[in-house]
Every structure is written in structure tokens, then in C-alpha cells.
Amino acid sequence: MIPAAFEYYRPTSMEGVLALLQEHGDEARVLAGGHSLIPMMKLRMADVPHLIDLQGIAGLSGITIDGGTIRIGTMTTQHDIIADAALTAAAPIMAEAALQIADPQVRYMGTVGGNVANGDPGNDMPGLMQCLDAQFHLIGPDGERTVAARDFYDSAYMTAREDDEVLTAITFAVPVGGHAYEKQKRKIGDYATAAAAVQISKEGGKVAAASIAMTNLSDTPVWSEAAGAALVGTDCGADAIKAAVAAMLADIDPTEDNRGPVAFKRHVAGIVLGRAIARAWSRA
């Protein structure tokens, strides 16, 4: 539980961060809250010769809601998400998901940006951001660019972020309709065996639109267009939910680990997703 030796940096400007990333290339990593990266370093699963702490950079945290768009700075903590009444009113699924991440001690330090940028398939926020069709804002030596959350994840711990880029913010439209974040885990603080993020809007007693994503059931989060489409135009009854679950089960690819064999994970995924859809519909 002791990491390998590393050089620690705490720059006070984004220019300083980018300069260090360019200098050290793929031997450098940025540190946000540290609750994803530090445990991997302690277990020697990640060798980071140069660690760049973002805590000294002003302007990277905070939540704004303007013109129907929500913006969350990369250093905003899970506790900040839970405590922000305006965000909870505009996008209640954010607080519902954040409250299910680890424990209060972790949530006071763990950041939204670190949770999504690390590429860990077990993290909660990546799937949620895909459900919300969020955009990730990156800055690098060539300037700023935006990548859709649904295009960001390539495989476990591999993302569209270049080694010399930093995630600065996340934006998404204020969601409409009903929501649910459902998670099954072995104990407090554990990764999900399966988790589902669902947003459903209703019109004329039927599903007008549905967005569904799941966590820790493949080497990336899984946003299933087919699962959402299975609900559209229905009254979200048992048959529609069964069709949506079947569509999602066709899209996931779980592996056996200490949370259970593949058959168990697929069973749990179906139960969790069915509950999340029913709860989101009841709130729509």
C-alpha cells in the first residue's frame, strides 16, 4: 500500500499544468480529488513518475445554471453536487447519484472531473453523464475542444483525452421528465455490481423520450440507444420495460470478478434497470 516514488507538482496556473504535461508526456498525470488515482498508485496498479495537483488552480470548481445549460467545473466535489439546491432542483438525478458514491469522507474530496476523466468503468459519473448527453471540455497546448460523453470512453482507463490535455468542465442541458439512479453494491464504498441512470419524459401518457446508461457492466460505461428506443411511444408498462432491459442486456459485456459471475451480473443488471425505469416513469 505504498506507491512508487514520484515527483509532486502544484502549479498555480493552467499554463503551468500544460507545460508540465508537455515536458513529461505520458509519465505525468493530473490529480483532482485523488480518490481514483491514489488507490491505484498505492496498489502499484498505476506508475506515475510525475504527479500534477490541480488544487492550486483557481476557477476549476463551481456549478452554474444559465439559459437551460448546467456547467460543472472539474474540481467540483461530490459533496458540492449534493449540497447545491439549485442543481438538485434543475437536475435531481445528480444528487441522487452522488449520494450513492462511496461515503461522506470520499465525497468531500472526490471530484466530478476526476470521476469522469479517469476512465474507470466502475465509476458512477461516466454513465450518468452519458445518460444526460453531457459534453466534456478539454484544454491542451493546441487550445480548447469539446468531446461528447458518449464518445469519450474507448476502453478501461482509455479515453479521448490526450496525455497533454486537462478536463476543465462538464456541461449538459437541464434534463426534463422523470429520473432515477439505481445502484446495487456489496457494501458501502464498493463499486457497483450494476448501476443504471435513466431519464424519461412523458407526453400524452406515453414515453416521449428516454435515455438509459449503465455502469460497471463492460470495459466502458454503456449508453444504450436501443434500450431508450424500446420505451418511446409506450405507456412504460411491464412489456416495454422488459423490452428495454433485453436491449440493454444485448449491449453490455460484463466479466467475472469478486462481485460475481457473468450470469449473476446480467441478472442484477436486469433487476436494477427495471427498477430504475419504473421509478423514473413514476416521476415523469
In sequence order, what DSSP letters do the residues of 18-44 get, joined into one string?
Answer: HHHHHHHGGGEEEESS-TTHHHHHHTT
pTM of the predicted model, to two decimals? 0.95
What pLDDT was estimated at residue 161?
96
State the residue for C-alpha cell 447519484: 97
Cβ count within 10 A of residue 10: 14
| Helix and strand counts by DSSP (H, E) for the chain | 12, 14
Half-sphere exposure of 153 (CA within 13 A, CB side): 28
Burial of 158 (0-12, 13-18, 19+ CB in 10 A): exposed
With residues binned 3-state (H G I as helix, E B as strand, rest as coil), the percentages for the chain, rounded to 5, are 35, 30, 35
Instruction: Determine the Cα–Cα distance for residues 104 and 85; give it in Å rounded to an integer.
Output: 18
What pLDDT was estimated at residue 79?
97
What pLDDT was estimated at residue 39?
83
Half-sphere exposure of 12 (CA within 13 A, CB side): 0
DSSP 59: T
Residue ranges in the chain whose pLDDT is less than 50 = none
Q: Cβ(147)–Cβ(119) under 8 Å? A: no
Nearest-CA neighbor of 135 among 157, 159, 151, 155? 151
**Helical packing angle, 262-283 and 238-251, nearest 10°:** 140
35 backbone dihedrals φ, ψ, rounded to 5°: -80, -5
